[in-house]
Structure 1
């Protein structure tokens, strides 16, 4: 086992998945048609996005209108990246002017029914999930010179990290599916109207909100807990509306390209206490309820001050050709920030891995300049053997020093061993903390999150629309502090079942712990969180009353999705299992969710019965919409339950008091900043 001098975890590894793709390929959400196809284009006439963030989760509603300017009926296929941890909960297709809600059906059956209805000239709609990559919406026919309207609603948890909230509406295609990109071309332009409206209703005071890549957005502070964002395709400027200060932007009609993610940040008030928040939902007359428990720890994890060894694992495969000069520039700038007491090792890989430095070199300016020269001389070519790279990085580590590994790659493993189980088995042989940056949409998040989880590390997603510096500050803050390892949360006093996630692992500085489960009855509950910090046991506990709630029926679907995620993790870790697949299918059908094994199908009303598809989702949608209408009339609600017996004595961490830093700040800020610029350059070149 590798142990640092302070008894802290000795090995940190950071994976950067850079989904910066071929500039000539389709790289955005949009209407698809085959490359070189003879059929004319459909128009995406409008897209209206409405987001409500209510403290612990977000509801995103996307209304779209397709228009067929041609003389014959055409099928519409709209594709967009899978949002992180999102569950599609509603697909509505307006048929003859009336909305028809889709029902969840086993994926193969749904596709067969859709194709049959399409071949017979009937109206049908289908929403499918293409693994971790995209959601694909198909409409069997858009009639000549007519419009077709659809609506998609998805739910996702929203976590705070070191006092910072983040929401992403993903649009930029990650470029990881080469076969799909080679076959399809995308019409990514909204012809007439694009709107994005966000309503943030926080349980805690919010100091600021920003959209780093959309300066034309209007931001309004309604009160200390409620902020709104409005972005329109015809807006040309943005005024950050502070309290009582709003300026209407100049406007002119313009089309809108769906090729840039919309990222929204908000920062909570500093010095808020560590807390436990609880939301419940129970149907009247039922014994079983659903809960969402959020633990936000206080800032009591000690800082790490000892020196480090840095292993840089750099992808030099052929797909890096357009990005290699940017990578070199990032190295030059980043190396300038290293401490002379640090040591550096560089490994490059394509079809195989090669150590450039032949062991550790002291981080002096002279040595680092030679390293940059060696990297520059290597040049890009070949495939991506990720396994070979990680194996090389895990050799030659000094057990008496804290080690960190940074892996930089622009694609998925495609040479040598590529199975997830093999990566997990390799990492389990080492005392390693794997810290993963998942950069861009459609990256292989299941693989990266799985190997991260098994190493007790953490993952941070990064979009080209992010504040790169901010994301790296979050990562640096975690790496520079000890973590709560072997975390375990116990609830007693009331009966709870089906609690997810089953395994917590480690909790790093600034992270929240979010649990979903079922509860029975009501009364006093005792919550106890235990683990170890730097090898020493630690325990936090509180007690509070659990009350039945009726205003958050969405919790039932969020719980179901949490269980589905757990089952899918097992599928990835241990291989496909028929019983687990059936369990996912049953859950998805019962709760109305799109998954790898289920799709959402819309038919003419009379055709559902023809195919034996039960109509069950309407009641659930009605309950959810009614509850949202009530919540919309209320101010931001605090769900804190440990006021009387606080679990933590210290405030939650934030960036107001400094902290973090060291070589990780200098190197990673420079490297990722340069790589982010490369991503933006690709977008500009494509245009």
Structure 2
């Protein structure tokens, strides 16, 4: 089959386009809208996520969407609505759910399936969508809100950022339809790597997000949104229209929480214990600082990471010892082994950190091994052994890391500092939980100082250790990890009482919980929390309150399942049956189960005739390439990303050739990545950032810029298209004009520099500034583009690429 490269004028972005949308004879790609409706009550939020799909083609369609959810959220319901019919999803063992879904498609019935691929990465497939039909899927979930230093945080992720994939590619059919190959280190990489749009498409999927706030009797002092503009209407906070799904939504609620023990009527309890007013015991520390310098850390993240690492070094005292490791595809040490935290050594460490820049791939396993080795031989057991990891966490081999390093890390205290606007919070939380440490998330430079103050307080020994409970009869194996109590961070514990529908007033007998805590008790309406504070015994009694809140049961089940899944990843393979049992019994989705919704009526002759995986936006704040939308390499790749895998494989050589002509030193490079383990190499993950089918994006290793051999005629079709859109009868839109300016700047760069385009681009990028005359600005753009193009029409479009023979 002959593959023809797409030409710019034959696949143009359109104003009403969604992710990855190209102008075709039938419209755009399928995802139209995402709606998030949250109800926050105290320290628990209930959320309903609604995704709207439309089939723009004249054949039946299967749409795949890879998206994030909060890593601690419990998904408890799934529903599909199409053709006036409502189908409730059923939670089943994952293999059985897939078989039911595939059979329904073969029989010409509508079906949808929701699967968890990581604690915070999920996939929905909707099949046999009829031409022109709209399908809505809904997910219901409950999530606990972390509470620290007088504020609870409602964090809702909106995009799956590209993750580094190490290892050797596997033979055989891929596990999913994503753009990364499956490898021996990440055998399901193709399931968690959705295609990513390169910049240039002005309009995202329609996003709406609201949060209704119920302080549950607490004194709510302040609401703050750190990455989005929000509007308040009574007790509801709404996202401003027009926001993109390219970064986490973060809402902080300032109020004073209190120690409490809540028991639901089904026998599940949630215990919250506020930190006591005791002084932290000062113990000499052996600390290994790991700083991620990989390509995805470019830009503001690298600046913030260097500052964070330097602040951590400054917290060390003279009786501490430390080591500083920076890593990408290779690991570099500031010193040989552990050194005393003298003024001179701390100065040398900060000086080393100041020279660190982003490069290479995120090979995280090796620096963790080196940290374990350094601390394993650090000396006597009366010193606190600490690992501090500063990273965005964008790795795909989470299970491999837990399996090979998790056991050793659990004997140390691991603190993670996650820096990103779309951070891999799920994995960093798992690492910190293994080592009884804390995970601090930094979404902006503005947030860094506050986060570093918290890290400084928590990087040492916790306030209370060796925790245990007395007074509750807990079902064996259901108590979540007790951990420790840190300054400003309350203890949060969930569990199940022995026997169904057991209330606090009838809790009797004895039992043993998991984790570090032991539970014994007699008939009582209180629980006693015991531990050691500064080496002395400490305890606090907490009275129980019976509540009617089913979310407590769901939150416990999700936390319990996550602990079981982590143990499975670390080698306890016999836990699979128990994980499936708990998931099905309590109706909470996990990696071994899936929700499937199957319509009973036949609507098609057989399976879908066309399949599309939905592209996602590039994460906000990442240093992404900026090629023009009309450039053959860019549009060709955007089209291939959205095509079936077989077509992508066949088309790859043609598009690789087109991409080789790209002149951007900051964008895709035709130079192959160095082998994994080689200096500056990154294996399949790319040499300088994130990768799509072997192409490296983000911040690649420096390459000489090349001047384009093409003249203005090479971009004339795109300029004609932009001119046609400018002339459309509508009011001048500042966002549209600013986006046009960025696209024209990229076109100018493609030509190696063009004075008129560059001047116009700079003028258009001022469109969002107050007082700008938008109509005059549009008039100037029309005048310049008319002169450059001669005002001619755009060429006629060919048939869509998936229909070409």
TM-score, normalised by the number of residues in structure 1: 0.67
The reply on whether 1:212 has 2:189 as its aligned counterpart is no
* Candidates 563, 577, 591, aligned match of 1:582: 577
The reply on whether 1:471 has 2:451 as its aligned counterpart is yes
* Candidates 393, 397, 406, aligned match of 2:388: 406
1:441-468 deviations in Å (ceiling 9; x for gaps): 574845x555544433233445469934
The answer for the alignment partner of 1:60 in structure 2 is 47
State the shift of 1:76 in Å. Answer: 1.5
SS at match of 1:506: coil
SS at match of 2:277: coil
The answer for the alignment partner of 2:719 in structure 1 is none
If asked which structure has higher relative contact order (CA below 8 Å, sep 6+), I would say: 1
* Candidates 505, 508, 514, aligned match of 2:483: 505
Whose strand fraction is larger, Structure 1's or Structure 2's?
A: 1
State the shift of 1:229 in Å. Answer: 0.6
The reply on whether 1:93 has 2:106 as its aligned counterpart is no
Cα RMSD (Å): 4.3
The answer for the alignment partner of 1:426 in structure 2 is 408
Deviates more, 1:346-355 or 1:499-508: 346-355
The answer for the alignment partner of 1:648 in structure 2 is none
Deviates more, 1:306-315 or 1:501-510: 306-315
The answer for the alignment partner of 2:119 in structure 1 is 132
State the shift of 1:73 in Å. Answer: 2.3
- How far apart in 2 are the matches of 1:168 and 1:437? 16
Change (3 A) 1:421 1:568: same
State the shift of 1:110 in Å. Answer: 1.2
Change (3 A) 1:175 1:389: farther
Contact 2:293 2:356 in 1 (8 A): no
The reply on whether 1:229 has 2:237 as its aligned counterpart is yes
Contact 1:349 1:389 in 2 (8 A): no
Map 1:516-527; keep pairs closer than 5 Å: 516-518=495-497, 520-521=502-503, 523=505, 524-527=524-527
The reply on whether 1:533 has 2:543 as its aligned counterpart is no
Contact 2:44 2:551 in 1 (8 A): no
Change (3 A) 1:186 1:67: farther
Change (3 A) 1:415 1:388: farther
Which structure 2 segments of 5+ residues have no match?
A: 1-16, 166-175, 181-189, 506-523, 603-696, 701-738, 747-805
1:142-185 deviations in Å (ceiling 9; x for gaps): 32223222211111122322221001110132322649443642
SS at match of 1:583: helix
State the shift of 1:49 in Å. Answer: 1.3
State the shift of 1:353 in Å. Answer: 4.2
Contact 1:484 1:507 in 2 (8 A): yes
Deviates more, 1:113-122 or 1:514-523: 514-523
The answer for the alignment partner of 1:249 in structure 2 is none
SS at match of 1:330: helix
The reply on whether 1:296 has 2:273 as its aligned counterpart is yes
The reply on whether 1:372 has 2:351 as its aligned counterpart is yes
The answer for the alignment partner of 2:95 in structure 1 is 108
- How far apart in 2 are the matches of 1:92 and 1:461? 32
1:393-444 deviations in Å (ceiling 9; x for gaps): 426747587675433345578999955344244346x6x3222234555748
1:353-381 deviations in Å (ceiling 9; x for gaps): 44323353665479726863587389855
* Candidates 401, 417, 423, aligned match of 1:437: 417
1:172-225 deviations in Å (ceiling 9; x for gaps): 3232264944364257987674221101212311100110111x31135x5xxx
- How far apart in 1 are the matches of 2:483 and 2:308? 33
State the shift of 1:529 in Å. Answer: 0.6
SS at match of 2:525: strand
TM-score, normalised by the number of residues in structure 2: 0.58
The answer for the alignment partner of 2:333 in structure 1 is 355
Contact 2:325 2:332 in 1 (8 A): yes
- How far apart in 2 are the matches of 1:106 and 1:150? 20
Which structure 1 segments of 5+ residues have no match?
A: 1-29, 234-254, 282-288, 608-678
* Candidates 212, 234, 249, aligned match of 1:199: 212
Contact 1:318 1:381 in 2 (8 A): yes
